[in-house]
A and B are shown apart, each in its own frame.
Chain A
Amino acid sequence: EPEVTQTPSHQVTQMGQEVILRCVPISNHLYFYWYRQILGQKVEFLVSFYNNEISEKSEIFDDQFSVERPDGSNFTLKIRSTKLEDSAMYFCASSQTAYNSPLHFGNGTRLTVT
């Protein structure tokens, strides 16, 4: 069964550094998302992306964050000038359509900011 793949599985970075989290969505999916989960808390929506542009973003997704689809397969989340509170599990997800289709998550990237 096709799956969403994320790399790396774990990223450690120092405060103030930039990180790029990478995702390869399922190949025939058209909608891409990033969610995050701070340890022990609920899963929070960050951003959705369709047709090479952001469709919706949450209040969390401020100027520190950006997303990009640099080629036909990859979908990236860039976090500039990381802060301690950015430490979380970041999940990439994709779906075939915006309506009437399930969301498929990758295994996540655990980001630790020291």
Chain B
Amino acid sequence: GIQVEQSPPDLILQEGANSTLRCNFSDSVNNLQWFHQNPWGQLINLFYIPSGTKQNGRLSATTVATERYSLLYISSSQTTDSGVYFCAVEGMDSSYKLIFGSGTRLLVRP
């Protein structure tokens, strides 16, 4: 099955810093989504981005499907950005399930 690797596994930032999280996947996908799991365990959908670039406030994401990676950018980080960021993909052979990466655990210090 498709493999999803995220890096770095852990990241500590000072409030106000910028960061880039990476997601590599092993095969072609027809769906890629980024999620934020906050410290309370809630999974929040950040982006549906199988290709191209999207921006939402301080967050933006870029997926280069032909090279099998996606990047999530966080600018001017805030303490509320802390949590785990997951990339999840859906392979071309499946239309109903997302495969999650292991996540990047982000801690933003005040």
Residues of A within 8 A of B97 (CB): 33, 45, 48, 56, 58
Contact yes or no, A102 B86, CB < 8 A: no
**Which among A33, A50, A98, A104 has the greatest number of chain B C-beta atoms within 10 A?**
A98
Interface contacts (Cβ under 8 Å), in number, total 58
Cβ of B110 under 8 Å from chain A: no
Q: Please state if A43 and B95 are interface contacts (CB–CB under 8 Å).
A: no
A89 touches B41 (CB 8 A): yes
B66 at the A interface (CB under 8 A):
no
Contacts of A75 in B (CB 8 A): none
Residues of chain A contacted by B98 (CB below 8 angstroms): 35, 45, 103
Determine the residue in chain A with the shortest Cβ distance to B101. Answer: A42
Chain B interface SS verdict (over half): strand
Contact B45 A107 (CB under 8 A): no
| Among B41, B96, B100, B103, contact of A98 (Cβ-Cβ < 8 Å) | B96
Using an 8 Å CB-CB cutoff, how does the interface string of B53-73 with A read, 1 for contact, 0 for none?
000000000000000000000
Interface residues of A in 42-67 (CB under 8 A from B): 42-45, 48, 50, 55-56, 58
Determine the distance from Cα of A61 to Cα of B100 in the docked complex, in whole angstroms.
17
Contact string against A for B residues 12-38, beta-carbon threshold 8 Å, 1 for contact and 0 otherwise: 000000000000000000110101000
Across the interface, do A105 and B103 meet the contact criterion of CB distance under 8 Å? no
| Residue numbers in B under 8 Å from A56 (CB-CB) | 94, 96-97
A contacts with B, residue count (CB < 8 A) = 26
In whole angstroms, how far apart are the Cα atoms of A92 and B43 in the complex?
A: 11
Asked if residues B43 and A98 are in contact (CB atoms below 8 Å), the reply is no
In the complex, the answer to whether A107 meets B42 with C-beta atoms within 8 Å is yes
Hey, which bits of chain A sit against chain B, CB under 8 A?
A: 31, 33, 35, 41-45, 48, 50, 55-56, 58, 89, 91, 98-105, 107-108, 110
Instruction: Show 20 A/B contacts (Cβ-Cβ < 8 Å), sorted by A.
Output: A35-B98, A42-B86, A42-B101, A42-B102, A43-B100, A45-B97, A45-B100, A48-B96, A55-B96, A56-B94, A89-B41, A91-B43, A102-B45, A102-B47, A102-B48, A103-B45, A103-B88, A103-B98, A105-B43, A108-B42
